[in-house]
A and B are shown apart, each in its own frame.
Chain A
Amino acid sequence: EIVMTQSPATLSVSPGERATLSCRASRSVTSNLAWYQQKPGQAPRLLIYGASTRATGIPARFSGSGSGTEFTLTISSLQSEDFAVYYCQQYNNWPPITFGQGTRLEIK
């Protein structure tokens, strides 16, 4: 099983600033990595797939990068609606499909 580790657990950033979230895989997942956003009481929403491709309707301020074992989600200028929990997910070697434990992005 590929273990996904996200850091930090909680990130405090001011609106308008940049946020950088990290995800590490226990072994290579090539570019088969997705990022999700989840707000309280809501289902997750797909933001990024293929490590760097934005899903339909996702604003350009969200970008993903990385390959192999190290990945980054960057939100270039935080809006109020961006404060949420973010999860990475690998779908390179499955079953099982595995998620990171999440990063909570909170308002500073």
Chain B
Amino acid sequence: EVQLLESGGGLVQPGGSLRLSCAASGLTFSSYAMTWVRQAPGKGLEWVSAIGGSGGSTYYADSVKGRFTISRDNSKNTLFLQMNSLRADDTAVYYCAKFRAPVPGGFDYWGQGTLVTVSS
């Protein structure tokens, strides 16, 4: 059974940094692109970033480009999101998710989410 477990969320001041992790199990991790999606309190889903299976290709939403960095360690089955220059509007639950493959088709497994709160 595929499981994704996020960690690293918490309270951070504006301008601060945080690193999220997503530990994956039950899958051949390096075979799948992975992604981060966030959800501000009471709001809808917003795609944040994605990374190819090898880690060689990365993609970002304009709202986080230049501030967030996605990466992965396939030897440890772990996905990361380094978040710098955090702003109040980055406050959200951050989910990691797996791309459905081989046929493209959305995100078929999600973690439970980790809450990031940016506030002074």
**Contacts of A98 on B, CB cut-off 8 Å?**
47
Cross-chain contact A99 with B108 (CB below 8 angstroms): no
Which of A11-19, A43-51, A75-83 is the contact stretch? A43-51
Q: Which of B10-30 contact A (CB under 8 A)?
A: none
Query: Is there contact, CB below 8 Å, between B44 and A43?
Result: no
- The reply to whether B113 and A50 contact each other, CB–CB distance below 8 Å, is no
Contact between B59 and A89, CB atoms less than 8 A apart: no
Contact status B60-A95, CB under 8 Å: yes
Q: How far is the CB of A101 from chain B (nearest CB, A)?
A: 5
Interface residues on A, range: 20 to 34
User: Which residues of the other chain, B, contact A56 by a CB distance below 8 angstroms?
Assistant: 108
B61 lies within 8 A of A34 (CB)? no
Expressed in whole angstroms, the Cα–Cα distance for A44 and B93 within the complex equals 12
Interchain CA distance A97-B50 in the complex, whole Å: 9
- For residue B95, which residues in chain A have a CB less than 8 angstroms away from its CB? 43-44
Point out the residues of chain A lying under 8 angstroms from B50, CB to CB. Answer: 95, 97
Q: Which 9 A-B pairs have the closest CB atoms?
A: A49-B105, A34-B106, A43-B110, A97-B47, A95-B59, A99-B45, A49-B106, A102-B44, A46-B108
Task: Report which B residues bind A (CB closer than 8 A).
Answer: 35, 37, 44-47, 50, 59-62, 95, 97, 100, 103-108, 110-113
Kindly list 17 other residue pairs between chains A and B, CB separation below 8 angstroms, not including A43-B113, A44-B107, A55-B106. A38-B45, A43-B111, A43-B112, A46-B106, A49-B103, A50-B103, A53-B105, A87-B44, A87-B45, A91-B105, A95-B47, A95-B61, A96-B47, A97-B35, A97-B47, A99-B44, A100-B44
